[in-house]
């Protein structure tokens, strides 16, 4: 970096330094981005007439939030919601239970290389596949119903939790783990007293966050037949019963907010 002398700068106006330093690269990025934007906007076909017609329906939908109808389809809503919650609970428990050993295996400072490679492979596969695509395949294989949704959510939980747990283990303090090892602990004791207390707060926080995500995801799995509230919601939209749809959406938002609040309380307590 060349030194800038104060005398050269005196009397000149000051300008904000640009975000990208190299001028050529900056202009190339800007021009390329603008060209892409023009191309992208030009290729999107919007039927403004249809949009205009739909605005009225959109307004109806927004209005229906002021008078959501919980009553007339309550048994359907209740059934779907209960199924979503059950899928969430079961999948979170199984997913977390499986992702702990995989997370241990995917941490380079604990696991030997072959185990590490296998566990990282599982994590990569699970993260690369979208929940809804996994759900489609599992519904094709296991048939309709909450079992496919349960398996999908468990599978997705493994990728998410194992990766973050492994990263946390890799970033842990070696000194404490070594102290336990020096006291003559077996491998299990070493994990239990040297590693686990260090990663536990983060594991609890991440698990709560994942339960939250699992519930949100379980709301859409019904669209492809994997059980939960999604099927009810889809039917409500198809029949233009916006007040029922609004009721379901309000319930989902309420439960998600509740879960978020709960996870905030638990995380604050653990840390």
Partner 1 sequence: MPVLEKEGAQVWRRRTTGEGMVRWFGWLIGVAVFVVCWQQISAATTWFFVWDAPRIANDIWTRATPPKWEYITQLGRPIWDTLNIATLGTLIALCLAVPVAFLAARNTTPSALFVRPIALLIIVSTRSINSLIWALLLIAIIGPGVFAGVVAIAIRSIGFCAKLLYEAIEEIDTTQVEAITATGASRWQVMAYGIVPQILPAFAGIAVFRWDINIRESTVLGLVGAGGIGLQLSSSLNVLAWPQVSLILVVILFAVVISEWVSAKVRGAII
Q: Using CB under 8 A as the criterion, which residues of the chain lie in contact with partner 1 when the complex forms?
A: 16, 19, 36-37, 40-41, 43-47, 50-51, 54-55, 57-58, 61, 82-83, 85-87, 89-90, 93, 128-130, 132-133, 136-137, 140-143, 145-147, 150, 216-217, 219-220, 223-224, 227, 230, 233-234, 237, 240, 245, 249, 252-253, 256-257, 260
CA distance 249 to 236: 11
Sign of the alpha-carbon dihedral angle for 175, 176, 179, 185? negative
- Residue nearer to partner 1 on the CB measure, 105 or 227: 227
Q: Among residues 105 and 228, whose Cβ is nearest to partner 1?
A: 228
The percent of the chain in helix, strand and coil, each rounded to the nearest 5, is: 80, 0, 20
Cα–Cα nearest to 145, from 135, 154, 155: 135
Between CA 136 and CA 149 the distance in angstroms is 9
Q: Minimum Å distance from CB 149 to partner 1?
A: 9
Closest of 88, 206, 208 to residue 150, by C-alpha:
88
Residue with the two structure tokens 């295996």: 105
Q: CA-CA distance, 144 to 136, in Å (whole number)? A: 10
For the bound state, the minimum distance from the C-beta of residue 112 to partner 1, rounded and expressed in Å, comes to: 26
Give 111 or 135: the residue with its C-beta nearer to partner 1.
135
Q: Least distance to partner 1 from the beta carbon of 114, Å? A: 23
Q: Residue 5 or residue 16: which is nearer to partner 1 going by CB?
A: 16
State the nearest-atom distance from the C-beta of 58 to partner 1, in Å.
4
- Shortest separation between residue 137's beta carbon and partner 1, angstroms: 8
Q: Which is nearer to partner 1, 69 or 111 (CB)?
A: 69
| Interatomic CA distance for residues 232 and 94, integer angstroms | 26
Q: What is the CA radius of gyration of the chain?
A: 26
């Amino acid at each position: 970096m060349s030194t800038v002398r104060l005398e050269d700068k005196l009397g000149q106006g000051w300008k904000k330094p640009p975000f990208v330093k190299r001028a050529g690269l900056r202009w190339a990025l800007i021009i390329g981005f603008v060209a892409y934007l023009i191309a992208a906007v030009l290729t999107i076909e919007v039927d403004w007439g249809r949009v205009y017609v739909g605005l009225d329906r959109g307004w109806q939908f927004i209005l229906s939030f002021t008078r959501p109808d919980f009553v007339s389809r309550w048994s359907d809503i209740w059934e779907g919601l209960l199924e979503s919650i059950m899928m969430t609970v079961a999948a979170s428990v199984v997913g977390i239970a499986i992702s702990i050993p995989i997370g241990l295996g995917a941490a380079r400072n604990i696991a030997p290389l072959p185990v590490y490679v296998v566990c990282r492979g599982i994590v990569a596969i699970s993260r690369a596949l979208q929940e809804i695509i996994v759900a489609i395949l599992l519904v094709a294989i296991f048939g309709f119903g909450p079992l496919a949704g349960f398996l999908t959510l468990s599978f997705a939980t493994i990728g998410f939790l194992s990766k973050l747990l492994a990263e946390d283990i890799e970033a842990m303090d070696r000194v404490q783990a070594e102290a336990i090892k020096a006291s003559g602990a077996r491998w299990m004791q070493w994990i239990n007293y040297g590693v686990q207390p260090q990663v536990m707060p983060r594991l609890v926080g991440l698990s709560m966050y994942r339960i939250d995500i699992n519930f949100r995801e379980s709301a859409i799995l019904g669209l492809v037949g994997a059980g939960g509230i999604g099927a009810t919601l889809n039917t409500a939209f198809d029949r233009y019963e916006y007040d029922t749809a609004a009721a379901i959406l309000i319930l989902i938002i309420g439960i998600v907010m509740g879960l978020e609040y709960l996870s905030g309380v638990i995380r604050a307590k653990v840390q």
